[in-house]
Amino acid sequence: MIEEHSFGPVPITCHSFNKDCSQLALSLNSNTVDIYKKSGQKWEKLQSLEEHSERVTSIDWAANTDRIVTASADRNAHVWTRDSTGQFRPTLVLLRIDRAATVVKWSPLENKFAVGSGAKLVSVCHFEPEHNWWVCKQIKKPFKSTVTCLAWHPNNCLLAVGATDFKARIVSAYLKEADEKPAATCWGGNMKFSNVMAEYTNGGSGWIRDVAFNGDGSLMAWVSHDSSVSVANGSTQTLAVLRFAMLPMLTCCWLSDTALVAAGHDCYPVVFRYEAGSASLSIAGQLNMSADQSGGSTKMTAKTMFGNMDRMATEDSVEKLTTVHQNSIK
């Protein structure tokens, strides 16, 4: 079943739902985050969060603690906590970066969060109740360009990081101040903060657009701007890569240990099947590709199109895509 929610003609830069999807935080390509509540078939605006001075680039809503963290091009983050009236109040988090923040993610236990940025580093932040503020530690060493995406491992200590240097990495974000000492995983046992547990490249030349761990954290998937999807298996130490003729994907997530879904510039989600035994990927199907099976235009070659324009002064005009989404999915 498809639910369509419209918030006007302005692009949605980033968004995040609360635990039961009854409320939504989104930013419409501005420095403001709007909080909406589902009311019947409509969305009712509850509050506007206006602490950032530049465009908001990422939002994450913690499912259990009900806190929102926002990151912005102003190089700061804010943690938003509800007061006694139900309104969100901000706490400034100084990230100590000199470039825009690009992505923010709560950890699974929601006791810390990570922020990627154009400063070629990842900031890992945790709360110090003694001083009543958020403390930031930085992972700098392996990154050579802008960090574009993050994903937490289920153990709350490992972090998958994608960047514009065409590499996907797994680094340790273990903080002794906030975490219990973790057990070794299939990615390794040295959990010292900022240690690089694994580093992968699929041999292509595309920015990493999104990364995702599966349920038990033994598989890491990522999508790249060279129209490829890759899966690294920590248990078997294998890498599966699939290149396709579609436009690049921008986001991905696991449906199960053998299936993941990705979507991007083609405006519809695609399901990929992963076979651990053969370390291979294949396309399993497309989701909601057509909003109107009878709609759309007939494809023609460039020669035919320009020939029609020259001989008959006609051209094909496409006002609406045949997909449910009318623009890229992120």
Distance separating alpha carbons of residues 19 and 26, to the nearest angstrom: 15
For residue 59, give the nearest of 44, 80, 39 by alpha carbon: 80
Distance separating alpha carbons of residues 139 and 324, to the nearest angstrom: 40
Distance separating alpha carbons of residues 240 and 316, to the nearest angstrom: 40
Backbone angles phi, psi at 53, to 5 degrees: -100, -10
User: Is 326 contained in some domain?
Assistant: no
Average pLDDT, the chain: 92
For 152, the token pair is 């937490």
Say whether pLDDT at 314 is over 80: no
The pLDDT score that the predictor gives to residue 245 is 93
With cut-offs at 50, 70 and 90, classify the pLDDT of residue 19: very high
Q: By CB neighbour count within 10 A (0-12 exposed, 13-18 middle, 19+ buried), where does 299 fall?
A: exposed
Measured CA angle at 41 (ends 38, 46), to 5 deg: 30
Q: What is the CATH number of the domain that holds 235?
A: 2.130.10.10
Looking at the chain, the whole-number percentage of residues with pLDDT higher than 70 is 90
Domain that holds residue 154: 14-289
pTM, to two decimals: 0.89
User: Is 136 contained in some domain?
Assistant: yes
Q: DSSP secondary structure string, 242-273?
A: EE-SSPPEEEEEEEETTEEEEEETTSS-EEEE
Q: Are the CB atoms for 18 and 66 separated by under 8 Å?
A: yes
Distance separating alpha carbons of residues 307 and 325, to the nearest angstrom: 31
The pLDDT score that the predictor gives to residue 297 is 42
The pLDDT score that the predictor gives to residue 295 is 41
With cut-offs at 50, 70 and 90, classify the pLDDT of residue 8: confident
The single-letter DSSP state of residue 302 is H
For 242, the token pair is 């699939």
Q: By CB neighbour count within 10 A (0-12 exposed, 13-18 middle, 19+ buried), where does 154 fall?
A: middle
User: Is 7 contained in some domain?
Assistant: no
Say whether pLDDT at 84 is over 50: yes
For 240, the token pair is 């599966």
User: Is 234 contained in some domain?
Assistant: yes
The pLDDT score that the predictor gives to residue 305 is 64
Higher pLDDT, 315 or 96: 96
- Judged by average pLDDT, the poorest of 6-10, 66-70, 143-147, 313-317 is 313-317
pLDDT in tens, 211-226: 999 999 999 999 999 9
Q: Are the CB atoms for 279 and 240 separated by under 8 Å?
A: yes
The single-letter DSSP state of residue 155 is T
The pLDDT score that the predictor gives to residue 318 is 57
Backbone angles phi, psi at 311, to 5 degrees: -85, -40
pLDDT in tens, 164-186: 999 999 999 999 999 999 999 99
The pLDDT score that the predictor gives to residue 18 is 97
HSE, side-chain direction, 13 A CA sphere, residue 297: 11
User: Is 320 contained in some domain?
Assistant: no
The pLDDT score that the predictor gives to residue 95 is 97
The pLDDT score that the predictor gives to residue 3 is 77
User: Is 305 contained in some domain?
Assistant: no
Q: DSSP secondary structure string, 47-92?
A: EEE---SS-EEEEEE-TTT--EEEEETTSEEEEEEE-TTS-EEEEE
With cut-offs at 50, 70 and 90, classify the pLDDT of residue 296: very low
For residue 56, give the nearest of 20, 87, 15, 92 by alpha carbon: 15
User: Is 33 contained in some domain?
Assistant: yes
Identity at 107, one-letter amino acid code: S
The pLDDT score that the predictor gives to residue 293 is 47
If one counts the domains in the chain, the total is: 1
User: Is 224 contained in some domain?
Assistant: yes
With cut-offs at 50, 70 and 90, classify the pLDDT of residue 137: very high
